[in-house]
């Protein structure tokens, strides 16, 4: 079953044309990775899917929901689309547990005690059951990002978006976050991940989309894209990545 359909999406900021006719589909349970040079429009693509940014033209469908239709309730839509940010964006004044219960209580209307119960479960799931009362400032980058993932999971989304979830982390903390993402992938979560983490892409990705200048240059499973890319631009970008290591 097709869960996400992106059809000929164009987007621009004031003068700058960012997305220039992006199309791809994801099946339920797929894990797709979006790669591309900085400024190519990867974050913008993700933000269009939960309407943090509006498209100029083209359509996005999430299951039966016409995401890009003006009458679609964005607050409803966003419960179905979890988002994980490069710099975490944990609510700074709330503990790890409260970061998760806020949405449960205010968006889903879950009762306070039940919300705490569920939040504890999600923190356990990302290996942070012992950090429920820690404030973001007291957590390491890797722990913050795992709270960020738990916060998104708690809304029980159909699709999870990750925007460079490990690129703000010290190298030795990347592994914990990648492990949580691999667990999620193995558990059947549909995930669209912007990342240059080759290990994750190789082990978990169904398809890799290479985005450059707002267009998808090439798509395919990791073996094909990494070993025999059809386009020179893809090959050039990937060899740069492998030479520099993950960024």
Ligand X SMILES: Nc1ncnc2c1ncn2[C@@H]1O[C@H](COP(=O)(O)OP(=O)(O)O)[C@@H](O)[C@H]1O
Q: Per rule CB under 8 A, is residue 178 in the interface with another protein?
A: no
172 is written with which tokens? 């030795």
Nearest to 157 by CA among 216, 214, 84: 84
Distance CA 36, CA 240 (A): 11
The one segment of 100-108, 117-125, 173-181, 192-200 that binds another protein by CB under 8 A: 100-108
Q: Does 39 bind ligand X (CB under 6 A)?
A: yes
- C-alpha pair distances (Å), 231 with each of 23, 128, 178, 194: 18, 42, 28, 20
Closest approach of ligand X to the CB of residue 96, in Å: 27
Contact of residue 76 among another protein, Mg ion, ligand X, none (CB under 5-8 Å per partner type): another protein
* Per CB under 8 A, 76 contacts another protein: yes
Q: Which is nearer to ligand X, 110 or 216 (CB)?
A: 216
CB of 66 to ligand X, least distance (A): 23
Shortest Å distance, C-beta 111 to Mg ion: 37
In what helix (H) or strand (E) does residue 114 lie, and over which residues does it extend? Answer: helix 112-125
> Which DSSP state fits 244?
H
Structure tokens at 92: 């700074």
Secondary element (H or E) of residue 226: helix 222-227
Of 8, 16, 54, 87, the one binding another protein by CB under 8 A: 87
d(CA 82, CA 148): 10
Residue 247 interacting with ligand X (CB under 6 A): no
C-alpha angle 142-145-147 in degrees, rounded to nearest 5:
110
3-state secondary structure of 192: strand
- Of 16-45, binders to another protein (CB under 8 A) are none
Is the CB of residue 148 less than 8 Å from the CB of residue 89?
yes
Q: Pick the piece of the chain touching another protein (CB under 8 A) from 34-42, 98-106, 173-181, 182-190.
A: 98-106
Can you tell me which of 4, 24, 26, 40 binds ligand X, judged by CB under 6 A?
40
Residue 63 as a binder of another protein (CB under 8 A): the answer is no
Residue from 24, 31, 33, 43 binding ligand X (CB under 6 A):
43
Rule CB under 8 A: is residue 135 a binding residue for another protein? yes
Binding interface with ligand X (CB under 6 A): 13, 16, 18, 36, 38-44
């Amino acid at each position: 079953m097709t869960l996400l359909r992106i059809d000929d999406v164009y987007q621009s900021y004031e003068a700058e044309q960012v997305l220039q006719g992006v199309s791809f589909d994801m099946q339920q349970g797929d894990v797709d990775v979006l790669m591309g040079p900085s400024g190519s429009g990867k974050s913008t693509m993700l933000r269009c899917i939960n309407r943090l940014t509006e498209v100029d033209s083209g359509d996005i469908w999430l299951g039966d929901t016409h995401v890009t239709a003006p009458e679609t309730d964005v607050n409803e839509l966003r419960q179905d689309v979890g988002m994980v940010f490069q710099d975490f964006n944990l609510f700074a004044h709330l503990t790890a547990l409260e970061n998760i219960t806020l949405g449960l209580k205010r968006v889903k209307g879950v009762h306070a005690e039940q919300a705490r119960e569920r939040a504890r479960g999600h923190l356990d799931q990302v290996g942070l059951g012992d950090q429920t009362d820690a404030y973001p400032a007291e957590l390491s980058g890797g722990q913050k990002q795992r709270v960020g993932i738990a916060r998104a999971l708690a809304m029980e989304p159909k699709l999870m978006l990750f925007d460079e979830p490990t690129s703000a982390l010290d190298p030795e903390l990347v592994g914990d976050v990648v492990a949580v993402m691999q667990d999620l992938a193995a558990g059947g979560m549909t995930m669209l991940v912007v990342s240059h983490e080759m290990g994750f892409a190789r082990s978990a990705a169904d398809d890799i989309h290479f985005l450059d200048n707002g267009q998808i240059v090439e798509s395919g499973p990791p073996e094909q894209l990494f070993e025999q890319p059809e386009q020179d631009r893809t090959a050039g970008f990937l060899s740069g990545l492998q030479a520099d290591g993950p960024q």
